[in-house]
Amino acid sequence: MADETIEALLLEQRKFPPSAAFKKNALVVGTHLYDEANADYEAFWSRQAEELVSWSTPWSQTCDWNLPFSKWFVGGTLNVAYNCLDRHVEAGRGNKVAIHWEGEPGDTRTITYAELLSEVERFSNVLRGLGVVRGDRINIYLPMIPEAVVAMLACARIGAAHSVVFGGFSSQALADRINDASAKVLITADGGWRRGDVFPLKPQADEAVASTPSIEHVVVVKRGNNDVSMKAGRDHWYHELMATADPKCAAEPMDSEQLLFLLYTSGTTGKPKGIMHTTGGYLTHVTYTHKYVFDLHPETDVYWCTADVGWVTGHSYIVYGPLSNGATQVIYEGVPNFPGNDRLWSIIAKYGVTIFYTAPTAIRTFMKWGTQEPAKHDLSSLRVIGSVGEPINPEAWMWYHEHIGRGNCPIVDTWWQTETGGIMISPLPGATTTKPGSATFALPGVGAEVVDEAGNTVTKGGGYLTLTNPWPGMLRGIWGDPERYKETYWSRFPGRYFAGDGAKLDDDGYLWLLGRVDDVMNVSGHRISTTEVESALVSHPSVAEAAVVGANDATTGQAIIAYVTLRGGAEVNETDLRNHVAKEIGAIAKPKTIYFTPDLPKTRSGKIMRRLLRDVAEGRNLGDTTTLADASVVTELQNRAAQSSED
């Protein structure tokens, strides 16, 4: 055991096969897609591209693989906005609702495919009027309002690449991203609604633009009605430009490898990386995965992904995947606890949501808030529920299954990254028997293997997750830095894409994600995954959420330090909880110290910042805290750590 790359400690035996009722109408029930893709993955992707995407000219080569650079559907041309809008309208589905939008204060908008198309055509002309041409970069810094979708699709329509920056990011983060991409236009809003108040965006945008020489124009959507200053000649109101814009804008064919967007993701070190995604391969990947992973029946389903368009999940599974598939979806502007902790469940009941996609961090928060919140609403419309962003602890999975899925919705735990563009590892809901906490298997068309330190394939036990074949949605590089692209993803294991995640394979060949390998702990020579200890803690009935880090220890190399948040009203003492972990996964994984805390430090996308917790545990000064969602959480933890060392 001790020489395993990462030890596999947690044993999860529960299994959930798809029900007969679900299988009856499911798009995929058997193994035929896997069989087809295993025989020839390129031919498989080629068939998906042909069936699911409309092309202006066919491609001459499916994949040009010049490791680590790939091109897909080489020579083919298409327009992404045409695929997301025009083709549905042309097919007579113009009156189908594309977006049920719900503002945080309770205002709503219903937007059909025909209406969305018309808005996008106008805005495409607005951008052209501001001098935007094919190949330019456009920054988008907006709340979760329909104009965010319009802006992205308008860029795609005219061949400009968008770079969306999450509305919660600071002016400095925005300026850095604008400058890295040399963007010409910034699209923002006066403000948006969050937790009952207007949060201003335009003032931040003004501050950013003061140091971004490439920005020529700023377009401002009126949403918050907060006071803003407009600089003559540079700043323009969206509604004023739209009122005079030409209503028709033809969708021009783009090369399959035309840059569709940049999305910045922070690495462990250095400046954020501008991840590059292109047109034909990306659209094929997200359309295919959105259809099959969620078992989408566009005529009857109402889909809802709770992500923000500032993250890749919002790009792939709010904008491009769902709209390309002609889905009807819900988009919600605000936070899940305004005006009450049951807002999301009330939205599901209101719109009859059938497919719901959210993140483990949200699920664990719902656990803290208690089962009475979802119980207030009729969730019987739901039929598939999904998870993305972090490993989902088995007990959080079970809670999701019981209290949101009411025991009869398949759960799709989808592993992927900003870099992969679309989902890579996930169950297919009508075909896969799930196990709580496992993302199960690579999707048809995707090659994933676990390897050890030396790069040898592991068939059972823990190691590093690698991808073995190119895939259509893969990043095409890091903007302006091809060397960093090679170095970051392709140098650790020659010939393989290394994702940075640990994973294990169980006896049945199921994949279990073990978290980022930077987070793996080394306790007395045992490599232990933070995810498994966290899952053991969360399996205690009193615990809602846990974060575990390894802190330097004179005796054991590293010692396990746990930060634990309890479920509403629950109590447990430290010794009992340490013993619970020993019982679940073994004495080696028992935390040395457990701190109880009402909150954990998280990034704005909801990922636990273990690096900060390590700093706290080791009594260091904190490094960069700018990506932290709520900085007061860490100060509180530091105070507690200082107190306990005085005790």
DSSP 57: B
Considering the rule CB under 6 A, would residue 414 count as an interface residue with ligand PRX? yes
Considering the rule CB under 6 A, would residue 389 count as an interface residue with ligand PRX? yes
Considering only residues 513, 560, 562, 600, which one is a binding residue for ligand PRX as defined by CB under 6 A? 513
Q: How far apart are CA 162 and CA 437, in angstroms?
A: 34
Binding range to ligand PRX, per CB under 6 A, among 144-152, 342-350, 383-391, 550-558 = 383-391
Considering only residues 206, 413, 534, 545, which one is a binding residue for ligand PRX as defined by CB under 6 A? 413
One symbol per residue from 254 to 273: x for binding ligand PRX (CB under 6 A), - otherwise; what is it?
A: -----------x--------
Beta-bridge partner residues of 616:
none
Cβ distance to ligand PRX smaller for residue 294 or 415: 415
Cβ distance to ligand PRX smaller for residue 337 or 417: 417
Considering only residues 500, 550, 591, 601, which one is a binding residue for ligand PRX as defined by CB under 6 A? 500
Cβ distance to ligand PRX smaller for residue 256 or 361: 361
CB 384 within 8 A of CB 412: yes
Residue in 43, 83, 81, 90 with CA at minimum distance from that of residue 63: 43
Cβ distance to ligand PRX smaller for residue 417 or 556: 417
Task: Tell me the DSSP string of 283-295.
Answer: HHHHHHHHHHHTT
Cβ distance to ligand PRX smaller for residue 187 or 392: 392
Count residues binding ligand PRX (CB under 6 A). Answer: 20
Considering the rule CB under 6 A, would residue 446 count as an interface residue with ligand PRX? no
Considering the rule CB under 6 A, would residue 439 count as an interface residue with ligand PRX? yes
Q: How far apart are CA 41 and CA 419, in angstroms?
A: 20
CB of 465 to ligand PRX, least distance (A): 8
Considering only residues 103, 167, 391, 606, which one is a binding residue for ligand PRX as defined by CB under 6 A? 391
Considering the rule CB under 6 A, would residue 310 count as an interface residue with ligand PRX? no
CB 357 within 8 A of CB 388: yes
Cβ distance to ligand PRX smaller for residue 167 or 389: 389
Cβ distance to ligand PRX smaller for residue 128 or 604: 604
Binding range to ligand PRX, per CB under 6 A, among 8-16, 100-108, 387-395, 398-406 = 387-395
Q: How far apart are CA 63 and CA 281, in angstroms?
A: 9
CB 554 within 8 A of CB 583: no
Q: How far apart are CA 629 and CA 633, in angstroms?
A: 9
| Cβ count within 10 A of residue 253 | 17
Q: How far apart are CA 274 and CA 65, in angstroms?
A: 22
3-state class (DSSP) for residue 111 = strand
Considering the rule CB under 6 A, would residue 417 count as an interface residue with ligand PRX? yes
Angle CA(130)–CA(241)–CA(138) in degrees, nearest 5?
A: 40
Binding range to ligand PRX, per CB under 6 A, among 345-353, 403-411, 479-487, 496-504 = 496-504
Cβ distance to ligand PRX smaller for residue 320 or 415: 415
Task: Tell me the DSSP string of 206-240.
Answer: HHHHTT-TT--EEEEE--S-------TTTEEEHHH
Q: How far apart are CA 222 and CA 101, in angstroms?
A: 16
CB of 171 to ligand PRX, least distance (A): 22
Cβ distance to ligand PRX smaller for residue 331 or 425: 425
Considering the rule CB under 6 A, would residue 516 count as an interface residue with ligand PRX? yes
Beta-bridge partner residues of 110:
100
Cβ distance to ligand PRX smaller for residue 462 or 500: 500
Considering the rule CB under 6 A, would residue 501 count as an interface residue with ligand PRX? yes
Which residues are within 8 A (CB) of 348 and not within 5 positions of it... i.e. 6 or more apart?
304, 356, 377, 379, 381, 382
Total residues found in the chain within this entry: 647
Considering the rule CB under 6 A, would residue 519 count as an interface residue with ligand PRX? no
Angle CA(432)–CA(435)–CA(440) in degrees, nearest 5?
A: 55
Site for ligand PRX, rule CB under 6 A:
265, 312-313, 388-391, 413-418, 439, 499-501, 513, 516, 605
